[in-house]
A and B are shown apart, each in its own frame.
Chain A
Amino acid sequence: MKTKKLLSLILVVAMVLISFAGCGAKEQSGTPEQPKTEQPKTETPKEEIKANKILKMGGTGFSGVFNPIMSDTTYDDYITSVLFEALTINNSEGEYVPMLADWKLSDDKLTYTFTLKDGIKFSDGTPLTTEDVAFTYETIACPDYNGPRAYAVSSMKGYDEFHSGAKATFDAIKIIDGKTISFTFADDKAAPANIESFIYGIMPKHYYKFDKWEDFLALNEKPLGSHVMTFDSYAPKQFIKLVKNQNYWDSANAAKIDGVLVSEVPDESILAALQTNQIDFAQISSSKDNLAAANALSNISVTNYLGNGYTYMCFNCTRPQLADVKVRQALMYALDRESFIDAQYGEGLAEVGMAPISPSSWAFPDASDLNPYKFDMEKAGQLMDEAGWKMGSDGFRYKDGQKFSVNWLVYTDSSWPGTLSGMAADTWKQLGVDLKIELMDFDTVVSRTMDPEPADKDFDIYTMGFVLSIDPDPTGALFDDDAYVAGGFNSSGYKNADAMELVKKGKAEFDMAKRAEIYKEWAAIMNEEIPHIIIAYRKELWGINTRVKGMDLGTYAKWTDVIKNISIE
């Protein structure tokens, strides 16, 4: 009897153990043999890494994709930006300058010829050559590629043939010698924004070359590049530790800090972690309360700058009640965005939006030429009357017996759409609008706005944030008529041939002054027609420990851009 019981007990324990073991056992199967050629160790004596000289950052959101052509979260991008160097980089003014290579643009504006600087080496000591540059870009274009950077090569010559596998060589890339390489764009694709294809980290071919795509991906957590940091260790959802690249090829400009540690710190604890010196710097979510709390910390200096992007509201212009521009303008006049900004971000941490261009860009027009749609209920009512929507006895507006009713898709992943729509619920009600707010998650908003075919887009109004690149070209984005397709970013259904003409002209214009004129004209049209209205330009708020020096942040100066200047006292 006793033994029988004992036996069943053992059996139970064994079953539990087996089930746990089974969960993790199979994972080894995909791990490839590392394609690593042994390099002679460089003889420089290694300096000791000191824990108090490591720069500690806190935040949430790395996915462990530390690969410059695969990463698609902000934190993964930070890591790849201090591990890998690209051909070009932007300076704090938002201009592109050489990083690994100088370049010349051909007279037909189609071919970029890069000349690598002397003596560039990866952190393992191998020289960086044009072979590595070609490898990086061919990988983005290759048929297996399933990362987010296809746009960097898709307008180059011969992309379709190479990507579909029809042709084994990528016509756009020509290796001229060990130091010189050229990239040619397709005939009709000349544009100043093309330089933005060359901001992605160059990857060592000898380390990353692959037979199976899975082998390439398996190196995501073991990155190897040429920048001032090298990879040390990674613990998923906990931290990634980088240490100083002791072999940095440009030894005069090597890092002044011994390493970078980025830890996963929950939002609620960011301020406390800064206060207790457990992290040196972090982005703090922009709000009045956080700004006051951060300013109260004696060991932290607070800095903020305009983020390169905006938040916007999209009107579905195919809806009968929103097709009239007067109605869209009335709704904007009836929305008190100044109070919204004050409630959501606090004064100084956001500005009222006007043009679909970042105010920090050279292309941003003179604000006095644009209508800020200052809160004005009277004017809003007037415009509604002009559009034929008359106030009924029940407090709602009617036209041809039809009540003015709109729905607004609000996602709850961040708080501002809720705040804004809550305020609109009040003022729009006074205007006589029957507003229905639908709460959902971000992906559901996307699935009802951008994803469906034009005829199936299921919304009247939605709000979202948009991130810009440095070049102001809006092609393919919210205001591009051609992006009004399933999966495109434009969901408004608004079409304007004149505006599109300007977009196309602006994209191909290489003269900056002429280009600025074109965008000014375009911004004025969009500010008047508002198929999408820019709600606000937000500022990013950062707290930095006073022991950290040289971290001067700005719209075009992320901490990774200034990594070489940072020192720790």
Chain B
Amino acid sequence: MKNYIIRRILQMIPVMLGILLILFIILEMAPGTPASNMMNPKATPEQKAELIEKLGLNRPWHERFISWIGEALKGNLGYSITHKKPVTAVMKDYMGATLLLSIVSLAISVLLGVPIGIISATKQYSFADNALTVFSLIGISIPSFFFGLLLLKNFAVDVQLFPLFGLENPLLFNPTFWEKFKDISWHLVLPSIVLGLGSTASFMRYTRSSMLEVIKQDYIRTARAKGLKEKVVIYRHAFRNAAIPIITLLGFQIPALLSGAVITESIFGLPGLGKITIEATLTRNYPLILGINAMLAFLTLLGALVADILYAVADPRIRYD
């Protein structure tokens, strides 16, 4: 197991370099420069050119690539052009809201989706199964911007139960920890429902189909034949075998935890990474685009590795020695 993990980590290095290389080339080909957006009508062409030079963007891309990697290894991802502060600091500013939102909504979708999937599978074609299937299809098909605006209209404007935007109320003076916790939770209710329900449906569908397959296996019949309780059969024996695809799905949720949900973040005015990634792209904020994408690439690779390790935990038949 240990050797396997070390081998996998070593393999990540060339993959990571490849991803970064592709990123650099794509950015190099993108039209426009960060100065295109600093368009004060009074700035002269010379002043713009000087800005480009100070940003180091007049050097050839391969030179920038090598120096970027060198600096990145030291933990320096450069300076965000629009924020005029280090990329790592900018990422840290926005990471909190994104992590909070995605962890809460992931919890919602796993805690709802997996049990619902199991129930649907064990009671296949029953009324409950059909009802839940319809529910999940609705969840998959409603676009999040529509669902989000609908919730806001109903629960923040018509009935003013929840706040319309933001993550916290800035007009709380010296709040206690408990007050602050309550305030933030209150702000997170609507966005996490929107984000959570969408993926609840996919967790449910995965669990259901994988459970259905396992339930028909001989060893499930054997388990029942030897007189085990139905609960034990389903949750101990069947679910454990059905969990592999769910773990894959979970593994790929790790980068998604930080990639941010652009639409949900925008509608609810949440200060997340998704939104600034889009902004960085539109303003050609190269250092920030690179920093965020490098982090996401790394997390994706890591997520795949974590999923592989978890397979072995869930299924004793899988060994990596």
Contacts and interface: CB of A to CB of B under 8 A. Distances in A.
B147 to A, nearest CB: 13
B76 to A, nearest CB: 7
Interface in A211-268: 217-218, 220-221, 233, 235-239, 241, 261, 263-266, 268
A477 B45 CA distance: 11
Contact of B284 (A29, A235, A443): A443
Q: Would you call the interface of chain A mostly helix, strand, loop, or mixed?
A: mixed
B164 A8 contact: no
Contact of B91 (A19, A24, A149): A24
B92 A269 contact: no
Contacts of A72: 38, 40
A237 B75 contact: no
B302 interface: yes
Nearest to B295: A23
Contacts of B67: none
B25 interface: no
A269 B83 CA distance: 25
A278 B163 contact: yes
B41 A261 contact: no
Contacts of A73: 82
Contacts of B16: none
B149 interface: yes
A36 interface: no
B166 A239 contact: yes
B85 A476 contact: no
B168 A235 contact: yes
Interface in A148-164: 148-151, 154
Given A23-B88, A51-B171, A217-B85, A443 B157 contact: no
Contacts, number: 206
A441 interface: yes
Given A25-B75, A446-B32, A447-B36, A12 B310 contact: yes
Interface string A36-74: 000000000000010100100010000111000010110
Given A239-B166, A441-B282, A476-B42, A23 B91 contact: yes
B44 A154 contact: yes
Contacts of A444: 31-32
Given A24-B88, A266-B165, A266-B266, A261 B170 contact: yes
A237 B55 CA distance: 24
A151 B43 contact: yes
A442 B281 CA distance: 11
B86 A27 contact: yes
A214 to B, nearest CB: 8
B44 A476 contact: yes
Interface residues of A, number: 80
A272 interface: yes
Contacts of B284: 443
B94 interface: yes
Given A26-B75, A265-B269, A5 B45 contact: no
A466 interface: yes
B48 interface: yes
A276 B43 contact: no
Interface string A123-164: 000000000000000000000001011110010000000000
Contacts of B163: 278
B179 interface: no
A266 B99 CA distance: 20
A413 B42 CA distance: 23
B41 A148 contact: no
B214 to A, nearest CB: 20
A388 to B, nearest CB: 35
B38 A148 contact: yes
A359 to B, nearest CB: 18
Given A8-B312, A235-B168, A443-B282, A451 B44 contact: no
A275 interface: yes
Contacts of A440: 31
Nearest to A218: B85
Nearest to B76: A26
Contact of A487 (B48, B89, B276): B48
B167 interface: yes
Given A11-B309, A63-B82, A483 B45 contact: yes
A19 B271 contact: no
B93 A236 contact: yes
Interface in A392-445: 413, 440-444
Nearest to A64: B83
A151 B91 contact: no
B267 interface: yes
B298 interface: yes
B71 to A, nearest CB: 11
Nearest to A1: B316
Nearest to A52: B171
A73 to B, nearest CB: 8
Nearest to A233: B170
Question: Which has the most chain B C-beta neighbours within 10 Å: A4, A11, A236, A237?
Answer: A237
A443 B51 contact: no
A395 to B, nearest CB: 33
Contacts of B45: 483, 485-488
Nearest to A443: B32
B1 interface: yes
Contacts of A268: 149, 267
A448 interface: yes
A72 B83 CA distance: 10
A276 B313 contact: no
A396 to B, nearest CB: 30
A166 interface: no
Interface string B24-42: 0000000111011111111
A103 interface: no
B317 interface: no
B122 interface: no
Contact of B88 (A12, A27, A150, A261): A27
B54 interface: yes
A197 B277 CA distance: 35
Contacts of A51: 171, 173
A4 B157 CA distance: 54
Given A23-B295, A154-B47, A448-B31, A276 B170 contact: no
A489 interface: yes
B306 interface: yes
A468 interface: yes
Nearest to A467: B41
A276 B157 contact: yes
Contacts of B283: 443
Contact of A276 (B156, B171, B173): B156
B95 interface: yes
Interface in A14-42: 15-16, 19-20, 23-27, 29-30
B49 interface: yes
B83 A63 contact: yes
Question: Which has the most chain B C-beta neighbours within 10 Å: A9, A272, A469, A476?
Answer: A272
Nearest to B37: A443
B103 to A, nearest CB: 11
A502 interface: no
A488 B302 CA distance: 46
The 10 lowest CB-CB distance pairs between A and B, nearest first, are: A443-B32, A237-B271, A487-B45, A26-B75, A446-B36, A24-B92, A447-B31, A27-B89, A236-B93, A151-B42
Interface of B: 1, 5, 31-33, 35-45, 47-51, 54-55, 75-76, 82-86, 88-95, 97, 99, 149, 152-153, 156-157, 160, 163-168, 170-171, 173, 254, 258, 266-272, 275-276, 282-284, 295, 298-299, 302, 305-306, 309-310, 312-313, 316
18 contacts: A8-B1, A15-B306, A16-B302, A23-B92, A49-B173, A54-B171, A149-B40, A235-B271, A237-B276, A263-B269, A269-B267, A442-B32, A443-B33, A443-B36, A443-B283, A467-B41, A476-B44, A487-B48
